[in-house]
Structure formats: C-alpha cells, structure tokens
C-alpha cells in the first residue's frame, strides 16, 4: 500500500503496519505501527542500521513504504537533519529565509518570520554571519530556525545533535525542549542516546535490530 499523506489530522503523524524492503532485498522495517499526536514528543532509539532514519524518510515522503501506510501531510513537516545543511554563500538570515523563499513568501514577510525564528533559537545578532563563522551548535540552531519559519505542526529530527560536543548537545536539548513546550508541535526524534531520549520525550520507542520493529 502506498503512503497516504492526507489521512492524518493537523499536527499528527501515524504509521500503520508499515514495512520497507529495498530493491536489493534488504528488509529495513517490519510492521511498524504507532502515532505521534500534537503535544507529543516521541523518540525512537535502537541499534545502528535498524531502520530509524529510513522511518523518517518514509514519514517525509523521501521513500515510499513497501507495504502499510503513513498518514501525514508532508507539506506540514519540519525536518532537521544530522547535518545543518546550510548554504555556505548565504548568511544566517538568508539561510533561515530559504524555506519561506521556496514557498513563495514575499520578501518583507519572509524577513519578519525569519527574524522571529532567529530570535526564538537565540541567534539574534548573528544574522549577517556566514556558516563558516559559526560553531557547530550555532549551525544546528540556524538549521532549526529555518525549519521553524513555516511553523510546521510536525517535526522530524534525524539525530540532529550527534556531531556536536556533549555540553553543546545539552544546550541544544534544552532549546529543543523549550521550543516544544512553547510551539506545541508534534515531534519524532531519532537518537542513539538513551539519556537524550529520556530528557526530551513524552514517550520513548525502542526498535529491534534489522528488520526494525517496535519492541
């Protein structure tokens, strides 16, 4: 069954009997069923290679499941990757404006919503800086601000803080938790860190080794 991205309510995401087998025969996911509703922050933990990132790619529409269904509107998803994925030739302000620009938001409105997002993640004063002048943590804040500009009701986080040092990671976790409380989005977070999962989440799901199943 193909993904159904029109069935979920605003601010929710649901997997129903979702499985994924790649063309080479690798069975990545097996019969995954769970939902994330508005006001929930769900973290998935599990061993490397168990299909956690595949799960997010299916949720976002980057992959179609082999069977089962996914209910979500991918136009209403914010996606924070493992890397900040900033454009080196654009300033912080211009990087944060990018999604709004691609969605056709006018210049003045774009600047305003970007400024609000930059302030929300604590980067005010760095609008004219380029990525090369930012620390790893600041780059991730910039990436998070960019995703916030369109105010998506559902956020996907693919191990976003795995590449930063432990102190910076704790600060970013604090920021993420604060944003979750103030913005009230639904969050699906992938991590290898049990302590991070427990700190951030309203619910923690554990996946088995490949093929990934919720255990």
CA 118 to each of CA 107, 112, 122, 143, 158: distance values in angstroms, whole numbers, following the listed order: 16, 10, 6, 10, 21
Distance CA 112, CA 110 (A): 5
Give pLDDT, residue 65. 95
Q: How confident is the model at residue 10 (pLDDT cuts 50, 70, 90)?
A: low
What values do phi and psi take at 139, rounded to 5? Answer: -65, -40
Closest of 136, 142, 155 to residue 201, by C-alpha: 155
Are 145 and 134 contacting, i.e. CB atoms less than 8 angstroms apart? no
The two three-digit tokens of residue 30, written as one number: 């097996």
What three-state secondary structure class fits 126? Answer: coil
Evaluate the omega torsion of the peptide bond into residue 35 and state whether it is cis, within 30 degrees of 0. no
Confidence tier at 6 by pLDDT (50, 70, 90): very low
- Chain-wide mean pLDDT for the chain? 90
Whose tokens are 């919720």? That residue is 214
Listed range (52-61, 73-82, 144-153, 164-173) with the worst mean pLDDT: 73-82
**Is the separation of the CB atoms in 127 and 91 below 8 Å?**
yes
Contact 116, 167 (CB under 8 A): no
CATH superfamily, with its number, for domain 13-88+153-206: P-loop containing nucleotide triphosphate hydrolases (3.40.50.300)
| pTM attached to this predicted model | 0.86
Instruction: Give residue limits of the domains in the chain.
Output: 13-88+153-206
Token duo for residue 66: 């082999």
Residue 53: pLDDT above 70?
Answer: yes
User: What is the distance between the alpha carbons of residues 187 and 88, in angstroms, rounded to a whole number?
Assistant: 28
């Amino acid at each position: 069954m193909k993904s159904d991205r029109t069935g979920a309510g605003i601010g929710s995401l649901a997997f129903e009997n979702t499985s994924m087998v790649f063309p080479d025969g690798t069975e990545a996911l097996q019969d995954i069923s769970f939902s994330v509703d508005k006001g929930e922050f769900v973290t998935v933990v599990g061993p490397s290679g168990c299909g956690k990132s595949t799960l997010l790619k299916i949720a976002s529409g980057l992959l179609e499941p082999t069977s089962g269904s996914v209910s979500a509107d991918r136009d209403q998803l914010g996606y924070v990757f493992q890397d900040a994925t900033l454009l080196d030739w654009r300033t912080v302000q211009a990087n944060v404006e990018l999604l709004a620009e691609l969605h056709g938001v006018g210049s003045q409105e774009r600047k305003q919503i970007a400024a609000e997002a930059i302030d929300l993640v604590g980067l005010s004063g760095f609008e004219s800086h380029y990525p090369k002048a930012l620390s790893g943590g600041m780059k991730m804040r910039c990436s998070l601000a960019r995703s916030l500009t369109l105010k998506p009701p559902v956020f996907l986080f693919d191990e976003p803080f795995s590449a930063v040092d432990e102190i910076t990671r704790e600060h970013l976790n604090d920021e993420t938790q604060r944003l979750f409380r103030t913005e009230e989005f639904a969050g699906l977070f992938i991590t290898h860190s049990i302590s991070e999962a427990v700190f951030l989440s309203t619910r923690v799901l554990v996946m088995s080794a490949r093929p990934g199943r919720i255990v």
